[in-house]
Amino acid sequence: MKEKVYQYSLCLFAFSMAFEPDWSSKTLILTSFFALFNIKFNREVFKKLPFAILCILALYVVLNIVFITREADFSFFPFLGLLFLFFLLFTNTSIEIKSKEWILFSFVAGVFVVGLFNLFFSFFRSSGAMITFFNSWETTAIIDIQKIYYAMYLNMAYAICLVGLQKGRIKYRLVYITILTALTVVLLIYSGAMSGIILFVVINALMLLQLAKKWVRFFFVISFITFPMVFLLLLSKQMTQDFFSQIDGENSRIRNYNVNMELILAAPIFGYGLGKERQTMQANRNEKSWEYKNNYHAHNQYFESLLGGGVILLLLILSLLALLLRKALFNTASVYATSFVVILLYSFLIESILRRHHGILFFSFFLFLLYFYDVGTSNKRIK
């Protein structure tokens, strides 16, 4: 019975992830409480590479704050704490194979409930709703989640549904896929997140690659994964900057890019200290610029990490994703994991994902859920 209650609490938490931070935080407390009655201590997981990387990351964060930042700053600690929490939850509690799928589809249900709820009320809160439909999320939404983060969640939910619809014999499968695709497109247009629309195309390409030969799939997945890094380098070219500005609709992120590149090259290894990212950027921005007046963060997780903790911090964060990707590349059933990694790597280009509640929840929860529960690839009971 206690195991069932814990599994239900995990489903409730997964459902609430796309809701306001207060909701998901309270359900996470509930899940953690029920986990206490379901702990089955597993010493072996503390000898594995993910735990070693977490410990190195925690040690580096502390040393960086003490010797580089040189003042008390705990802004990185929520992310660090959630990483350890989900690591412990998913390695020292037991769960049935069916419940793993229920956790994923609870997340899907929550994402679409939030989207449809906001969409429904948008027609009552705006005049000429059909005319202003595109990019009206932040002016009409009832449930508070920033559009870039919602687009991330929506693409993950879409990938989960597509994989689920490909399993077994499902009557009217094509009809369900058509409805799912149409609904996702409508919500992406309503959100106005161009990054989400691009991710939607990439996710569909990943799904189609499942039909290709293994070496073809491997080649294109690696290409998708490495493209964000290549794009960061290409952004140094004026032609690429102009193209990006047209897609993004503003020049703020490009100005951030140019300022941040100079700062990063001046302190590439250890950065300027965790917690001093925004202070460092502000000191080097044009005082007349929009991002200076609004005291904006880097709007790029790669730069945010490099400014705060240098190459060491960025590599430690990416190494966690690399561990999951390594499993996914050698397992044809791990489309979930590949989609998750791709969504993050692309979203890192235009937002400091690990600075917001929805970002750190998404990263830490799915990282260890997919790594240790190996969803969709096993019929064994996980312990």
Alpha-carbon gap, residue 163 to 158, rounded angstroms: 9
Residue for token digits 């929550």?
110
**The pTM is what?**
0.93
Among 183, 184, 182, 180, which Cα is nearest to 165's? 180
pLDDT for 334 equals: 77
Question: What is the pLDDT, as a whole number, of residue 378?
Answer: 38
Q: What are phi and psi for residue 140, nearest 5 degrees?
A: -120, -10
pLDDT of residue 338: 92
> pLDDT tens digits, the chain, 383 residues: what are they?
788 899 999 999 999 999 999 999 999 999 999 999 988 888 888 988 999 999 999 999 999 999 999 988 899 999 999 999 999 999 998 887 777 889 999 999 999 999 999 998 887 766 554 456 888 898 888 998 999 999 999 999 999 999 888 876 788 899 999 999 999 999 999 999 999 999 999 999 999 988 888 888 889 989 999 999 998 888 888 888 888 777 666 677 788 888 999 999 999 999 999 999 999 999 999 888 888 888 888 889 999 999 999 999 999 999 999 999 988 877 654 789 999 999 999 999 989 999 999 999 999 999 999 998 765 443 333 33
Q: What pLDDT, on a 0 to 100 scale, did the predictor assign at position 127?
A: 55
Range 355-360, long-range pairs (CB < 8 A, 24+ positions):
355/75, 355/297, 355/304, 356/146, 356/149, 357/21, 357/24, 357/25, 357/78, 358/17, 358/18, 358/21, 358/145, 358/146, 358/149, 358/152, 358/153, 359/149, 359/152, 360/78, 360/79, 360/82
Give Cα separations from 239 to 16, 244, 246, 346, 351 (angstroms). Answer: 42, 9, 11, 20, 21
Sign of torsion over alpha carbons 366, 367, 373, 376: positive
